[in-house]
């Protein structure tokens, strides 16, 4: 079965700084990869997803992620964070076949200092 | 279009009692997923239905936990003889097809005292 590691439980950055949240997955086949965000007191929402093709995928609110197969990674990036980006970010992986549920990492709590 | 609806939003139950959580997926979605969220474990997969059939329950604790999807409009997660370690936020999600984007409900927070 597939699994995800998000090595940073908490990340704090200043507003306007660049951001990278790390995600490494374990799966022997070709994965579907996702980043979800959970704002306080809300459900998880999709930020972006990778299915195939261009390894750099763009998401909402200026987020992007790059699939690096050789490194089994799918790190999330943003050039300049805003205080409203403070949230918990989850990386997820699923297999590219039908009977499979995504597995999530433990999440990274992002705090943006004004 | 209404999102995924979970009820109750909060439930406090005594140790040893039963708790049932309900989920109404988005109309037309064929896949329903249950996850458990805790500070320590993060987001754990519990079980998954497609077209109401159970597909994967590998994340379900073997005792006390059960899930059903009696019709396409709702699923239930039942915990018998609840224990303090069952305290968590239980999240339900649905998607058009498995492997696609998941749409999550706001969760049911269960507290076992």
CA distance to A78, A106, B71, B84, B88, per residue, from A95 (Å): 26, 19, 26, 33, 27
| Set of chain A residues whose Cβ sits within 8 Å of the Cβ of B106 | 41-43
Check residue A47 and give left, alpha or beta (phi > 0: left; psi -120 to 50: alpha). alpha
Q: Which two tokens stand for residue A8?
A: 């940073």
pLDDT in tens, A39-56: 988 889 999 999 989 999
CATH topology for A3-113 is Immunoglobulin-like (2.60.40)
Model confidence at B100, in pLDDT bands (50, 70, 90)? confident
The token duo for A75 is 């790190």
Phi, psi of A70 (to 5 degrees): -65, -25
Res B99 pLDDT > 70: no
Residues spanned by the domain of B72? 5-112
Structural domain count, chain B? 1
Are B69 and B82 a contacting pair, CB within 8 Å?
no
Q: What is the pLDDT of residues B2-36, one digit of tens each?
A: 899 999 999 999 999 999 999 999 999 999 999 99
In this model, does residue B98 exceed pLDDT 70?
no
- The confidence score (pLDDT) of residue B4 equals 96
Distance CA A113, CA B64 (A): 43
Of A45, A96, A107, the CB nearest to B43: A107
Residue A9's nearest CA partner among A83, A78, A106 is: A106
pLDDT value for A99: 67
Is the Cβ–Cβ distance between B63 and B71 less than 8 Å? Answer: no
pLDDT given for residue A41 in this prediction? 84
Q: Do A106 and B41 touch (CB under 8 A)?
A: yes
Q: Are B32 and B97 in contact (CB under 8 A)?
A: no
Q: Which residue has the tokens 């749409």?
A: B103
Low-confidence ranges of chain A (pLDDT < 50): none
The pLDDT mean for chain A works out to 93
Residues of B with Cβ-Cβ distance to A1 under 8 angstroms: 58
Q: How far apart are CA B61 and CA B70, in angstroms?
A: 21
pLDDT digits (tens, 9 = 90+) for B45-97: 999 999 999 999 999 998 999 999 999 999 999 999 999 999 999 999 999 87
Q: Note whether B58 contacts A104, CB cutoff 8 Å.
A: no
Q: Return the CATH number at B30.
A: 2.60.40.10
B59 to chain A, closest Cα gap in Å: 10
């Amino acid at each position: 079965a597939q699994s995800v590691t998000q090595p940073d439980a908490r990340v704090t950055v200043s507003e306007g700084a660049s951001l990278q949240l790390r995600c490494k997955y374990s799966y022997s086949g070709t994965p579907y990869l996702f980043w979800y965000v959970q704002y306080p007191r809300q459900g998880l929402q999709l930020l972006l997803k990778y299915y195939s093709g261009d390894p750099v995928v763009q998401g909402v609110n200026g987020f992007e992620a790059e699939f690096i197969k050789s490194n089994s990674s799918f790190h999330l990036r943003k050039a300049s964070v805003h205080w409203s980006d403070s949230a918990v970010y989850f990386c997820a992986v699923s297999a590219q076949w039908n009977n499979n549920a995504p597995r999530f990492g433990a999440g990274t709590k992002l705090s943006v200092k004004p | 279009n209404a999102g995924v609806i979970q009820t109750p939003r909060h439930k406090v139950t005594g140790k040893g009692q039963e708790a049932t959580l309900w989920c109404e997926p988005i109309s037309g979605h064929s896949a329903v997923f249950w996850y458990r969220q805790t500070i320590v474990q993060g987001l754990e997969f519990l079980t998954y239905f497609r077209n109401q059939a159970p597909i994967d329950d590998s994340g379900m604790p073997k005792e006390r936990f059960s899930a059903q999807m009696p019709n396409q409009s709702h699923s239930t997660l039942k915990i018998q003889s609840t224990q303090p370690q069952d305290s968590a936020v239980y999240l339900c999600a649905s998607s058009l097809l498995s492997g696609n984007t998941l749409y999550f409900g706001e969760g049911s927070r269960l507290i076992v005292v």
